[in-house]
Structure formats: structure tokens, C-alpha cells
Amino acid sequence: MQEKINYLLKESYPEGAPSDREFCRIVERRGGALSHSYFGKLRKGQLTEVRDETLQALGLGFDCDWRFFKPESEVEAEVFAGLRFLVDKRAGGISGIAGRGIAEGGLSPDLLNFALDLVEKARQEAQERPAEPQA
């Protein structure tokens, strides 16, 4: 996290990085909330695990996708779950799923994998059932 923040501070503000307070004011102006002391701890590497809300605030401050700040393994899990969903959908295994109540970022990888596991289980059960006699 520290490396990503310091990299973006350097690249986003070539004329000089803002202070922690100034950065948090930028986040605020863009609709987020982040305290300067918390940001300072992130920038210095004193905090490494944060909630998604904090990552979203960082994304607002740097004007980038907040997922940039997620650990690589979490992003990989999201991509894998999304690809698995697309493969099943294109193969005809999934159709007619409504997206009511889904957050801006879509389904979480855990929820998406759970849904795909249910679809797979239903598919297997349907294949194992004996065919009903035709009348």
C-alpha cells in the first residue's frame, strides 16, 4: 500500500506532492472522507490493511480506480470469478440472472463463486436424475 501511494503521489503531482491535509481536502472535494493522520500512516507504511471505503477514498484522491490499492490476490480472485462467470454464461449454463441490489462494483468474488457453485450443483443434479417417461 505504501509503495502504491508514494508512487501515485510522485506521478500525480510532479510539481510536488500535497501535504497529508491537502490530499484529504482533495478527497473531500471529490465526495470522499479520509483523515490526514490516517492517510499519513498509510503513506508511511504504518497501516497495511484497510477497508474498501478507505481504498475508495484513495481512488477519489488520486482520480484512479480504487481497486488499484487492493492486494494482488484479491484482484486476481475477482478477475478469476468474473472470467468463470463469463465462460459459464457463454457456454449457456447461466441465463436470466437479475442484477437487483448489486453494488457498484458488481458481485463480490465470494458471492459470484457461491452463485456459480449453485449453478454447477443444479446442473449435476439435473444430469443425475433419471429421465421421466414420455406419455
Assign 76 a pLDDT band (cuts: 50, 70, 90). Answer: low
| Whether pLDDT at 122 is above 90 | no
**What predicted TM-score, i.e. pTM, was given to this entire model?**
0.57
CA distances from 50 to 28, 41, 70 (A): 18, 11, 9
Q: What is the pLDDT of residues 47-71, one digit of tens each?
A: 988 999 999 999 999 988 888 888 7
Distance CA 66, CA 58 (A): 7
Assess contact for 34 and 27: CB atoms under 8 A.
Answer: yes
Output helix, strand, coil percentages for the chain, rounded to the nearest 5.
60, 0, 40
| C-alpha torsion sign, points 35, 36, 41, 44 | positive
Q: What is the pLDDT of residues 27-49, one digit of tens each?
A: 999 999 999 999 999 999 999 88
Q: Closest Cα to residue 52, out of 28, 36, 68, 35?
A: 68
- Residue labelled with grid coordinates 492517510: 39
